[in-house]
Amino acid sequence: MSKLILLDGAMGTMLQNAGLAPGGRPEIFGLEHPDILEEIQRKYVEAGSDVIYANTFGANAHKLKGTGHSVEEVISVNVATARRAAGENVRVALDVGPIGELMEPMGTMSFEEVYETYREMAVTGEQAGADLIVFETMTDLYEVKAAVLAARENTKLPVWVTMSFEAGGRTFTGTLVSAMAATLDGLGVDAMGINCSLGPQEIFPMIEEMKKWTDKPLIVKPNAGLPDPFTGGYNIDAEEFVRQMRPYLSLGVSMVGGCCGTTPEFIAGLAGLAAEAESAETDEAGTSDDVLSPERDGKEKQGQIREPLNKNNKNTRLRGVCSSRKMVDFGGVRVIGERINPTGKKRFAQALREHDIDYIVEQAIDQADAGADILDINVGLPGIDEAELMTEVVQEVQSIVSLPLQIDSSDPATIEAGLRACSGRAIVNSVNAEDEVLEKILPIVKKYGAAVVGLTMDKSGIPDSAEERFRLAEKILNTALAVGIPREDVLIDCLTLTISAQQEQAVETLKAVRMVHEKLGLHCVLGVSNISFGLPKRIQITTNFLTQALCCGLDFPIVNPNQEEVMDTIAAFRALSGEDAQCEAYIERFADEPDEKKNE
């Protein structure tokens, strides 16, 4: 059985009622009037809150600049006040809001500056005695990523995140609910959800969507309905608020509370729902102890490694990769665009050497327009600072194109730089089966919650037989699981060798793909075009091999999406396999084609 954790309600609403002037800083008011603050928080405790938020929402160095107060002073005093109000049985959360400045490349703050700002708050909060950290009312997924990493890498406290969404299902900066859930699930937060901006009724379908993408405990902290344009207040009272919150019980949320416009009366009303939840059957969200006292040893909790992706898999959680604005699920054939890569591309290599970012971004746009689902990013050339350039290219591409990215490098520093620059959840390519490579790169993949492509090769090179490649795939999978990377995030590349030099290897590659797909239940990747290197009319060989590979289980082909014949082949396969329901995408793709002559 699982206890529904009851959070507190609005702080700003209560402080304004107690004398906070319009435009005043709640955190400074709390310093100057600790008795008023403590009384407000005690009322929430008396109403039934299991967790109260410290009055530290805007206590960051950026917002406190010029106030004469330090981060340490503001957080320490306000956490201490909350501790007094909480007593022995109620937990205190360090409440952390947005910094208030956009990040690069859209704004001026670098990832490192944002990270350091949140690190200071998190460390100070832990030292002050907070039981957990809540990042709330966030709108920028990239900022959230920096915040979560700062907290997890520098404290042992549980980390919760709630973002604020508009009615259309995106945040102010365009972040999707699914992108938030997938990214934060990968980063290993202890709970996630939605707060502020909307009422319970409006938030409900968004929590339904979030639940599809994560099995983490879910948090719901809505406003008291929607703003009234005439009064400036909110349009539902405590009784109606509780009525609208009731459906969340059947949805299996773990934590409920209130945001703007809510008061202790609202929380007291939710206490009745909490009592109902205690006697109700729980779902997979987990117990209150799991949420408030997680392990912090860098490994997944026992039982957290997911089941194989086969017909016996009971896990219904969706998986995918994303930017903040675009989600690509792992539910079918997904095209990885290969053009942002200097291998065999003299013009692209020239662009890298000349720092021609415009040309690189053009390649991203062209591939997105041609139908790519994911973009491979490889900037490795001798004499280039690969990590620095990877950061710049990732940021520039993401500012123009919304597609998720695949960070393609064998250098751990470059991989980390690329993952750090990604706004959402990426794929890392490539990790071969050498012990040293696995030991260096897989922990980075785990840290950033990425998916990973494992190459079936080791120090001896690429095995000739499908059976040996399968053995290396098993090794990569088992090592990834041991690090805590879920099985469904492991993709295997059985490697394509050109038939002009090793003709027999085409069959071995296809056989290996089928074995990995059927016996391990893993997603399969192949760089398809290498099959035809050195041959005339390459497209015939490439598309024929692509069709065979798709039938064997290839679902992540790395191809040039600007080759119409390749994309036509994939469109046909999607229609034949049933992925393209009612052949709608296929019909749309060829709608403008001239009618074929009918046989007489």
Tens of pLDDT along 16-31?
999 899 889 999 999 9
Segments in 422-560 forming alpha helices (H) = 435-448, 466-483, 505-515, 538-552
Structure confidence at residue 290 (pLDDT)? 56
pLDDT at 13: 86
User: Roughly what angle, to the nearest 10 degrees, separates helices 238-245 and 200-213?
Assistant: 30
Nearest Cα residue to 509 out of 541, 540, 468, 466: 466
On whether the CB atoms of residues 82 and 55 are closer than 8 A, the answer is yes
CA dist 138 and 192 (Å) reads: 11
Mention every residue, 6+ apart, whose C-beta is less than 8 A from residue 305: 481, 484, 486, 487
Nearest to 95 by CA among 78, 107, 109, 83: 78
pTM, 2 dp: 0.92
How much is the pLDDT for 282? 45
User: Quick check: helix, strand or coil at residue 451?
Assistant: strand
Concatenating the DSSP letter of every residue in 285-349 gives: T--HHHHHS---SSSPPTT-SPPPSSTT-------EEE-SS-EEESSS--PEE--S--TT-HHHH
Q: In terms of Cα–Cα distance, which of 88, 104, 91 is closest to 157? A: 91
pLDDT at position 412, please?
97
Contact between residue 553 and residue 522 where contact means Cβ atoms under 8 Å apart = no
> What pLDDT does residue 47 have?
97
What is the reported pLDDT for 308?
34
pLDDT of residue 596: 65
**pLDDT for 3:** 80
Whole-angstrom Cα distance, residue 230 to residue 226?
12
Rounded to whole angstroms, how far apart are CA atoms 275 and 277? Answer: 5
Which token pair is 12? 């700003």
The predicted pLDDT at position 165 comes to: 98
Per-residue model confidence (pLDDT) at position 23: 86
Collect the ranges in the chain with pLDDT lower than 70.
1-2, 277, 279-315, 596-600
State pLDDT tens for residues 426-445: 999 989 999 999 999 999 99
pLDDT recorded at residue 305: 26
Q: What is the pLDDT of residue 600?
A: 45
Strands (E) across 164-299 are located at 191-195, 218-221, 255-256
In whole angstroms, give the CA distance from residue 353 to residue 293. 50
